[in-house]
Chains A and B, each alone.
Chain A
Amino acid sequence: MSKNDKKNGSLQTLKKVLKIIGRYKLLLALSIVLATLTVVLQLYIPILFGYAIDGIIAEGKVDFGSIETYLFKTLILIAIASIATWVMNAINNRLAYHVVRDIRAKAIRQIERLPLSFLDSHGTGDIVGRVIADTDQLSDGLLLGFTQLFSGIVTILVTIFFMFSKNVVISVMVIALTPISFLVARFIATHTYAMFQKQTYTRGLQTALVEEMVGNQKVVKAFGYEEKAEARFDVLNKELKEYSRKALFYSSLTNPCTRAVNNVIYALVALVGANRIMAGGLTVGGLSVLLAYANQYMKPFNDISSVITELQNALACAGRIFELIETKPERKDSPQVMDMAKGNVTIDDVSFSYNKEKKLIEHFSLDVKPGTRVAIVGPTGCGKTTFINLLMRFYDVDAGAIKVDDWTITDVARHSLRRNYGMVLQETWIKNATIRENIAFGKPDATDEEIIKAAKEAHSWGFIRRMPKKLDTVINENSLSQGQKQLLCITRVMLLLPPMLILDEATSSIDTRTEVKISEAFDKMMEGRTSFIVAHRLSTIRNADVILVMKDGKIIEQGNHETLLAKKGFYEKLYNSQFEHVAV
């Protein structure tokens, strides 16, 4: 990407940000007006104090009248400035937090509509980062940065204006000397940068080591690796110490150095100012104003340079957020609602692949009569789960069509299709909520009797009953064992009684004894219903009406358990490996 493109990109992003802020145009305008007002007032107040001080000349030569007037004026301006500052801060807050809220609300709506291909290819951490951290950074950097930048520029301009109104020579001198402070800061920053990089790199190594060792502490202990881990940690720790010490020290030189430059400028103002007063070109009050300005003058400059880095950072974050928000969502849903299915599933010459270079499912055809039990077996990566993705329309087929009864599934509303399936996946998902909410996920109005009945059928009632608050116990991903979570997910489906069922390794973490009991319940439930079962435990699938043996995206064998065994093909090999010892 050339530099120009990059600039255009940032400009585009900025435009989009402005569009989001657009709703709050009035607030933004008000904030800018108030910022200008407070800056001018805050800078004008020292001048009034200067006039007041000019009224105090010496013993007996004090003009109380003018002092009183100036001080009274000051009091009013101080009050106005304070109120204006507070209102401005409140507005900026409101602006920032509302924009963040809006962006996040947009993001979640987008997440619910994004094609799974996007979500599958971006890690959860990545997207969470965009929704949380990047959005915060955007509001901090862009909105607050913007107001700071604005008031910084106004401060500089107004200060220069006021200084010139007091004394031209001194003002020119201050402006001419300012760059020295920048040069010093720049010099330090460039020389510290390398040290910071080394520090970041070493810290990264150390964090990685900690994550590995502490994250797997039990393995470390089982092999008695503790001392070696400590030794490795110590080496990095010592290295980090050296780099951190230097990075911290060098970077902390910036403040004292720029302050020293500033102090020299201050002294020069005092020197030249004093000479001007003696020459009659300046008053003492005027000098005190100039000194106050000389003290503050550097601050907005330093602020602006840090704000600019913030802004660049914020724009990068905004870019990532917009990438999420602007990704094309799933194809628009058809308004057509299909009826509750009888369970006739036809797959007609379907082809599909996740990426165009690597073909996966090709010319796949299958006709499933209502009430059929279809089992899918095969080695990892053969396309079992992909098949499920297509049935549920998590992904759309590249070619061909899938029909349920006589509805082509791409022609009906997704919800109306998905309501026909009960799905249990190997990767269990538990909402951070009560057990009741988790079970009644698909049927929020279920009564307790219904829930308990489903739980008993799915054999989850045993552990639910023992939970401290039974159905009202709040659970999360970590509070249950993998097997218990799977039982809960099965209960969820038991409660729904959908016309069709998809089980993708649904009982992989449940011991076989419980599994047999659950499958009895499934059997009862699935009577007359179509079901698709993916499993690696052959005992689970042997009762299926049709077994599809898949390999590399194709069905290589098809039939029931007996016929497939008789064929002495891939299935037979797979099946017999389980019995090797029995056979001997």
Chain B
Amino acid sequence: MIRLMKYIKGYEVQSILAPLFKLFEALMDLLVPIVIARIIDNGIANGNSAYVWKYFLFLILLAALGLAFSITAQWFAANASVGFATALRKDLFGHIQGFSFSSLDKVGTDTLITRITSDVTLVQNGVNMALRLLLRSPFIVVGAMIMSFTIDVKCALVFAVAIPLLSLVVAAIMFVTIPLFKKAQGALDRVLGITRENLTGVRVIRAFCKEDDEIADFDEKNNELMRLNEFVGRISALMNPLTFLMVNVATIFLIKQGAIQVSIGVLKQGDVVAMYNYMAQMIVELIKFAALVVTITKGLAGANRVADVLDIEQGMEYPTSENKKNKKKNNKKDKKDNLTAVKFEKVSFAYDTSGEEAVTDINFTAKKGQTIGIIGATGSGKSTLVNLIPRFYDATAGSVIVDGKDVREYGKEELLSKFGIVPQKAVLFEGSIRDNLKWGNDKADDKQLWKAIELAQATDVVKGKAEGLDYHVEQNGRNLSGGQKQRLTIARALVRQPEILILDDSSSALDFATDAKLRSAIAGLDKNMTVFIVSQRTSSIRHADNILVLDDGCIVGNGTHDKLMESCDVYKEIYYSQFPDEMKKDTDALNNKRVNGKEVTV
């Protein structure tokens, strides 16, 4: 919470005034029993009706003042807490926008979403309640005691004993129950998890005839949850009866003590009534306070989760323009080589989340205008490799050079503007198709958009919609099929007319025919565009100028299809696994050759 204090900036005055006015209101409440005592002791005892009227009006005045104070307090509290939450949310969102890919991997986007939405709301409620009530309840309790001391010290001692005892009981119960509530929440999460599991796995469970075992497993978790809830419920159910008991026992002592004080003439009857009223006020406040603590605890937990996100470093720095100027000189030499688009020099990389290297000692050069195919088994490091090119991750060793310059020397805009990237998962955003395509280049006109659409083989997708480019894509593109989305994401990357196009296994949802058309369309494009195609299909990459074969994070083959078919066993294996016919032909041919060879020698 303390870490978030700075977001109250601009609302410091409100956050002081809100509780202050709340205290004024409480003060009005505290005056009421005194006024009643006056009415009893001076008005009634003397039969003075005018006195009673006067003090009645005073009570009305107290009520009016209390209302005014409390409205003022609510106004300040609402402003401060909403202002606080707004600033916090803005900063949090901005902070997340700056996260590097490795920071995102570490935290996970699902958590980030809940933190920025529900957690911030929890904090807002916590701040609002804290500003309004956190001080009020203790103030009334302590105030009631002080007021009693002004009436009679001996009677007030009952308060002095009762209040610490009450606080102790309330604190003890909360101390015991809060961790238990957390445990119960964990048990609920497990029940939720197994329910979801049974729904998503319904076919497998039924296919393996495991229904009864799953029910038994569920029952166990369900009963555990019930047991925990009942246990913690029983303890927290002590709060009300215990405080009720203590306050009322205190009242008994108070009246007894009051009776003695009245009988010796130190006190009047009205004074006893006043102190009795203070006791009644206290119990109301204690009940409110217990409820308040729950809200604030929740808010604090939310605040901690939010602060944790803000504490995560964004993880990637780009050189400022000044740095760039200094480096420009050094780069001049490299710039001469303006034929090379991308160059990897002894590049290795390991994800923060795992110790092992995902790619190891990668060396290759991609010339401008070349098409580079990247192939390899699942988990061999294909995606990792292409993610290093636009600096989504920083290589842990070696250097990645784009257009003659180390990627770490580029400004962010300067580097990214070179790339058109089609990610593995086809993601579109809520908005029109036009809005989506303009992510690639927001200055593109419709003609350019249509050209990109055509290249991406998506013409029938867009033409198929009555609204054309204005067709409204729903959140996550859920009103489009996988193949349609994929073609539109390819178009989005092409709109940018990038120097380097990266297709990260992005034709997996396309059938072979469309994939082939797409490839020949891209091949017919600007001769200067360098294209990286990551794929598991040899047919997608066999016509590339250069193919990199990855195995377990290392390059085990680098060359054209024909060259690799001769020299690279891994590539051959992949190829034959997809074209078993060819294997037969090739081995036949090979055998024939051998046979022929033999014949010659014999």
Contacts and interface: CB of A to CB of B under 8 A. Distances in A.
A257 B262 contact: no
B564 interface: no
Interface in A44-63: 45, 49, 52-53, 55-62
Given A237-B93, A270-B35, 15 more contacts: A53-B276, A55-B259, A74-B252, A86-B240, A104-B222, A214-B109, A217-B109, A222-B423, A226-B98, A263-B59, A270-B55, A392-B206, A429-B203, A442-B209, A579-B539
Tell me whether chain A's interface is mostly helix, strand or loop, or mixed: helix
B351 interface: no
B198 A111 contact: yes
B206 A414 contact: yes
Contacts of B63: 260, 263-264, 266-267
A493 to B, nearest CB: 9
B74 A256 contact: yes
B240 A85 contact: yes
B577 A513 contact: yes
Interface stretch (A92-100, A157-165, A302-310, A545-553): A92-100
A157 to B, nearest CB: 21
Contact of B392 (A57, A208, A222, A414): A222
A75 interface: yes
B204 A539 contact: no
B255 A222 contact: no
B248 interface: yes
Contacts of B573: 513, 516
Interface stretch (A23-31, A167-175, A238-246): A238-246
Given A132-B195, A512-B536, A260 B67 contact: yes
Interface stretch (B76-84, B161-169, B464-472): B76-84
Interface string B189-201: 0011111111111
A214 B116 contact: yes
B513 A278 contact: no
A225 interface: yes
Contacts of B202: 111, 116, 119
A220 B113 CA distance: 15
Interface residues of A, number: 147
A248 B83 CA distance: 12
Contact of A93 (B43, B233, B251, B413): B233
Interface string B105-139: 00001101100110001001000100010000000
A268 B116 CA distance: 49
Contact of B574 (A78, A93, A105, A511): A511
Given A53-B273, A57-B269, A124-B199, A270 B89 contact: no
A510 B380 CA distance: 12
Interface in A501-557: 509-516, 536-537, 539, 542
A93 B230 contact: yes
Given A60-B265, A221-B392, A274 B256 contact: no
B241 A85 contact: yes
A509 B99 CA distance: 29
A327 B582 CA distance: 55
B27 interface: no
Interface in A281-296: 284, 287-288, 291-292, 295
A400 B479 CA distance: 35
Interface stretch (B362-370, B371-379, B448-456): B371-379
Interface string B401-444: 00000000000110011010101000101100000000110000
Interface stretch (B210-218, B329-337, B340-348): B210-218
A215 B218 contact: no
Interface in B257-271: 258-260, 262-265, 268-270
Nearest to B72: A256
Contact of A90 (B93, B229, B237): B237
A285 B77 CA distance: 40
A124 B379 contact: no
A190 interface: no
Nearest to B421: A222
Contacts of B211: 112-113
B86 A240 contact: yes
B195 A131 contact: yes
Given A71-B252, A270-B56, A278 B44 contact: yes
A241 B83 contact: yes
B191 A86 contact: no
Interface of A: 42, 45, 49, 52-53, 55-62, 64, 67, 71, 74-75, 78-79, 81-83, 85-86, 89-90, 93-94, 97-98, 100-101, 104-105, 107-109, 111-113, 116, 119, 124, 127-128, 131-132, 203, 206-208, 210-227, 229-230, 233-234, 237-238, 240-241, 244-245, 248-249, 252-253, 255-257, 259-260, 263-264, 266-268, 270-271, 274-275, 277-278, 284, 287-288, 291-292, 295, 379-380, 392, 394, 414-415, 418-419, 421, 423, 425, 429, 431-432, 441-442, 444, 481-484, 489, 492, 509-516, 536-537, 539, 542, 577-582
Contact of A108 (B89, B215, B268, B440): B215
Interface string B565-584: 00000100110011110100
A510 B241 CA distance: 63
Contact of B78 (A252, A278, A582): A252
Interface in B215-252: 215, 218-219, 222-223, 225-226, 229-230, 233-234, 237-238, 240-242, 244-245, 248-249, 251-252
B195 A49 contact: no
Nearest to B39: A274
B94 interface: yes
A441 B217 CA distance: 13
Contacts of B262: 56-59, 62
A511 B392 contact: no
A79 B192 contact: no
Contacts of A582: 539, 542, 579, 582
A284 to B, nearest CB: 6
A31 B429 CA distance: 54
B93 to A, nearest CB: 5
Interface string B469-510: 000000110000100000000001000000000000000000
A266 B93 CA distance: 50
Given A260-B66, A278-B47, A418-B209, A295 B280 contact: yes
Nearest to A93: B233
Contacts of B547: none
B188 interface: yes
Interface in B32-65: 32, 35-36, 39-40, 43-45, 47, 49, 52-53, 55-56, 59-60, 62-64
A515 B576 CA distance: 12
Contact of A82 (B204, B222, B242): B242
Contacts of B191: 104, 132
Contact of B277 (A124, A288, A514): A288
Nearest to A59: B265
B340 to A, nearest CB: 23
A482 B379 CA distance: 10
Q: Name the residue in B78, B223, B419 with the highest tally of chain A Cβ atoms < 10 Å from its Cβ.
A: B78
A582 B538 CA distance: 11
A88 B80 CA distance: 41
A392 B82 CA distance: 56
Contacts of B282: none
B338 interface: no
B548 interface: no
A85 B229 CA distance: 19
A581 B578 CA distance: 14
B5 interface: no
A480 B101 CA distance: 19
B439 A119 contact: no
Interface in B374-390: 376-380, 390
Nearest to B101: A218
